[in-house]
Amino acid sequence: MRDPWAAMRAGEVLIGHFVISASPAMVELVGYTGADFVGIDCEHSPISPYGHELDACVRAAYAAGVAPIVRIAAQDAAQVRRAAEAGAKGVMVPHVNTPQELELMLRALRLPPDGDRGCAPSVRATRYGCTPWGEFAAESAATVEVIPIFEEPRAFDRLDEILDVEGLGVVGFGGFDMVQRVGRGGGDAAAVVYGYLERLVEACAARDVVVIDSVSSLEDFVRRVELGCRGIMYSTDMGILRVALQEQVGRLRDHLAGL
């Protein structure tokens, strides 16, 4: 499994999908169909950030050779640790709005002496101890990222402070959440939110920080790539399945109508 963050920093655009069905088989399928990474969602799905189902989904990603990124349910150091010990290559943290919040999550990911994460040599990420601890610690420090999600306007009040936190390498943008918040004030919420994304991409480019965004249409995919996003989460497993099923059922009903 290649390092997705190195590839994106080198200028590649990587594609992934969120899995919200809690299905290891779906995670595996995402990998087999050619995605570069898979988002295992514990925030908006039945997947527990503490349970065996998280391990099963991460294990399925490794089986298919696709990098697992876990979106945890809240800013919780224990959830960061669990995702990292399961073998996640990235831990997405929702609703990060201050540099202090980000610093806490980064310390929760880092092993001592650089952070506060508890040490266990026999977890899944160490291949249950088959990987020597020193080798595992070095690899974790170099290749596993905390990914704060910017999904509230107030995060942009302190954008530079957040992006200047030491150790930050990847950020996410939560456009759907942003639209719901901005839309309360009326006007063209989508245009306002896209302006926030433009600010984020520009500020991150100056710091060599990768930006990941979520889209659900080819048009939005093209716009994000042209803007400078290097990671694209394209829809969810259930969203893609819904569209495919609706199309297939529609074709069948059109055929029946013509008989």
In the chain, the amino acid numbered 17 is H
Q: What is the per-residue pLDDT for 183?
A: 84
How crowded is the C-beta side of 109, counted as CA atoms within 13 Å? 31
Give the chain's domain count: 1
User: What does the pLDDT look like over 213-224, one tens digit per residue?
Assistant: 999 999 999 999
How crowded is the C-beta side of 100, counted as CA atoms within 13 Å? 0
User: What does the pLDDT look like over 90-111, one tens digit per residue?
Assistant: 999 999 999 999 999 999 999 9
Question: For 152, left (φ over 0), alpha (ψ -120 to 50), or beta?
Answer: beta
Q: What is the per-residue pLDDT for 152?
A: 97
Q: Is the pLDDT reported for residue 231 higher than 70?
A: yes
CA distances from 56 to 23, 106, 227 (A): 9, 25, 35
Helices (H), 144-259: 159-163, 175-182, 189-205, 218-227, 237-257
User: What does the pLDDT look like over 181-208, one tens digit per residue?
Assistant: 998 756 789 999 999 999 999 999 999 9
User: What does the pLDDT look like over 16-62, one tens digit per residue?
Assistant: 999 999 999 999 999 999 999 999 999 999 999 998 999 999 999 99
Q: What is the per-residue pLDDT for 35?
A: 98
223: Cβ contacts below 8 Å, ≥ 6 apart: none
User: What does the pLDDT look like over 72-82, one tens digit per residue?
Assistant: 999 999 999 99
Q: What is the per-residue pLDDT for 186?
A: 62
**Angle in degrees, 0-180, between the axes of helices 52-64 and 77-86, rounded to the nearest 10:** 40
CA distances from 237 to 15, 37, 123, 242 (A): 13, 13, 28, 9
Residue 82 belongs to domain spanning: 4-257
State mean pLDDT over 212-235.
Answer: 97
In the chain, the amino acid numbered 55 is D
Average per-residue pLDDT for the chain: 96
Percent of the chain clearing pLDDT 70 (strictly above): 99
User: What does the pLDDT look like over 134-169, one tens digit per residue?
Assistant: 999 999 999 999 999 999 999 999 999 999 999 999
In terms of C-beta density within 10 A (0-12 exposed, 13-18 middle, 19 or more buried), how is residue 257 classed?
exposed
* Token pair listed for 45: 């799905």
**CATH code for position 167:** 3.20.20.60
